[in-house]
Structure 1
Amino acid sequence: MSLICIDAAQVRSTLSPAACIAVVRKAMIALSRGQAQQPLRSILDLDGGDLLGLMPGRLGEDCFGAKLISVYPHNAERGQPSHQGLVALFDRASGAPLAVVDAQAITALRTAAASAVATDALARQDAQVLALLGYGEQAETHLIALAQVRRLREVRIWGRSRDKAEAFIGRMRLQVALAPLALRYCDSVAAAVDAADMVCTLTHASEPILEGTMLAPGCHVNLVGSGRPGPVEVDSALVCRARFFADHRESVLKQGAEFLRAKAAGLVDDSHVLGEIGQVLAADLPGRVAADDITVYKSLGSIVQDLAAARYVYRRLAGLDSSR
């Protein structure tokens, strides 16, 4: 076997948002049914808030590998991606490496796809108004992915720089599939989420930017920006108010910053994490039970999502059956 190196352009041209949503959905069900292995990620903290993460895992009987990724939150100020690295896939029969895949492209697509999967499972069917807190790469992929699962009418954008937020809106208006949408900038988080049906937090905030009192009944929230203990994007009131679901329960119990802060304050215990989104998708656990429920999906990032997306791309480019 020869090792294939797959760059970001190949990932983007091969893995459509719809395809990524489909493979991530299957991967999250597999994880919750014990058909995948996912140890807690290892994090090496670097100076200035930067970090290196290592995420090994196994998906099904024939797919295993790992992601090695650097996270540099301040790269956006330099016009560079905040997440950079690689996903390595190995052959189960021989242990030989099959492919090295650009992790920045995989991460951007699969993170948004996972939020779309969670939104489809937890948001109200009539949800139409989306608030994006943040205007980086994840905001772009999230807008495109969520438009796959809900008929969006209005999208509100908040960010600390109005110029950058409006530049983001200008770029997104060029997307043909999004042309009918009303895209507008909001000068405060409260204005952005006021009566919103869905909210995605996509920032590098270290302290809460979103408060539970700001949300209307029935709202669904994807917590995405914080991927380790410490930085939080929302306050404990929001955590307490919500039906709270994890991508991977063990990971959130040990590394989910917003949950851990609420727990440390004595406001919740481990039972507040009701379960995993894969359980909801498989109909093994109820998600939203009432129209007025506030629902939260905590996304830490699952290696099974990376492996599923990378395997799909590899098999397509290698000319193999992509249906597995």
Structure 2
Amino acid sequence: MRVIANPRVSEQAVLAALREAFGDLSQTEPTGPGQFVVDLPGGGDVIHFPATLPSANSYAVKVSPYLPQPAGPAVVTAWTMLVSLSTGQPVALLDASHLTVERTAATTVLAADSLLPSDARTAAVVGYGRIGRAHARYLRRLRPDMAVRAFSRQGIDETDDGVQVVSSIDDAVASADLVMLCTSAANDVLDPRTLPASAVVTSISTNAPGAREIPPAAVSELDVYVDARTTLQVATELVEAAASGWDRATVRGDLAELVTGQALRPSGRRPVYFRSVGLGIEDAAVAWAAYNDNAITGGQH
């Protein structure tokens, strides 16, 4: 088994791998596409992201421990193991910290690209840490003509070329065709109902219990899309909205359906909301792409 401690993979390879993986999902009923959590004695947990990857004849699982410390921040790591479905033997173990950032941003942007009209011109990134920067980077890959504004409550020391730093959320989202929420907030960041009906809002939130970026009361007034139907049992605002009477059956499509053009198009009567929580199929696809890229380039191991 090969251990790759610092895997790198190109944006082009990530996008291609995710398109292929979600395209395959549209043809079959996925096995275990969501995530499950194992609580640890004394606090902390380990999240597992399992998936099969038929195109690579592989099974993959990412494990991400959250380990609180007596003093200082918690330890958070992520590792993905690829297992051959021919031999049953592990093929590779990859440090997934960087890969998780890449797959999270690429998943959002793939969905946004499918949901936005061709003439969309302006995007806002709210929360401009590593993941927010990656969102802007992938958006420039698929929509190079879109202007990007960025806001972060923690401040932004520097930004990438072509990204304008603004001083408030209101300035960021004003007249934006796309708003990408990339925060670690545990409560509402934005109410999509305040935006025009043509706006597309995406949210990744965090895995912290109860975390969300929009109010649950807004969900019933949005055109909702998800990365997978399992997200409806995980994303806080969607779970709470359903408990208050929102019908989960009104979800207009998941990412597999968006990638293959099978999802219902946005109605145009209300804002669009795409919610992702992170899926094993994303980790599997990007890990396989990174494994192959590093096999060619001789990545660190």
Same-fold status (TM-score > 0.5): yes
Q: Which amino acid aligns with 1:26?
A: E
Q: Against the structure 1 CA distance between its residues 28 and 213, is the aligned structure 2 distance closer, same or farther, given a 3 Å change threshold? A: same
Equivalence for 2:243 = 264
- Secondary structure of residue in 1 paired with 2:189: coil
Please tell me whether the aligned partners of residues 123 and 295 of structure 1 are also in contact (alpha carbons under 8 angstroms). no
Is 1:59 matched up with 2:53?
Answer: yes
Equivalence for 2:65 = 70
Distance 1:40 1:73 in 2: 24
Unaligned runs of 5+ in 2: none
Q: Deviations over 1:18-75 (max 9, x none)?
A: 221111111122223216422542213569995420112111160112000135799x
What RMSD in Å do the two structures reach over aligned CA positions? 2.7
More displaced stretch, 257-266 vs 225-234: 225-234
Q: Against the structure 1 CA distance between its residues 21 and 83, is the aligned structure 2 distance closer, same or farther, given a 3 Å change threshold? A: farther
Equivalence for 1:287 = 265
Equivalence for 1:103 = 96
- Secondary structure of residue in 2 paired with 1:52: strand
Instruction: Choose the corresponding residue for 2:196, options 205, 209, 216.
Output: 216
Q: Which amino acid aligns with 1:148?
A: R
Q: Which amino acid aligns with 1:258?
A: E
Q: What's the CA shift for 1:16?
A: 1.1
Unaligned runs of 5+ in 1: 174-178
Distance 1:110 1:48 in 2: 31
- Secondary structure of residue in 2 paired with 1:221: strand
Equivalence for 1:89 = 82
Distance 2:17 2:265 in 1: 21
Is 1:194 matched up with 2:174?
Answer: yes
Q: What's the CA shift for 1:204?
A: 1.5
Is 1:184 matched up with 2:179?
Answer: no
Please tell me whether the aligned partners of residues 208 and 232 of structure 1 are also in contact (alpha carbons under 8 angstroms). yes
Is 1:123 matched up with 2:116?
Answer: yes
Alignment of 1:139-288 (within 5 A): 139-162=132-155, 165=156, 167=157, 170=158, 172-173=159-160, 179=161, 181-187=162-168, 189-227=169-207, 230-249=210-229, 251-266=230-245, 268-288=246-266
**Alignment size in residue pairs:** 294
More displaced stretch, 37-46 vs 56-65: 37-46
Higher helix share: 1
More displaced stretch, 279-288 vs 105-114: 279-288
Alignment of 1:6-85 (within 5 A): 6-8=4-6, 11-12=7-8, 15-34=9-28, 36-45=30-39, 51-60=45-54, 62-71=57-66, 84-85=77-78
Using the size of structure 2 for normalisation, the TM-score is 0.88
Distance 1:134 1:58 in 2: 32
Q: Against the structure 1 CA distance between its residues 318 and 198, is the aligned structure 2 distance closer, same or farther, given a 3 Å change threshold? A: same
Equivalence for 2:293 = 316
Identical amino acids, percent of aligned pairs: 26
Q: Which amino acid aligns with 2:211?
A: P
Q: Which amino acid aligns with 2:243?
A: A
- Secondary structure of residue in 2 paired with 1:37: coil
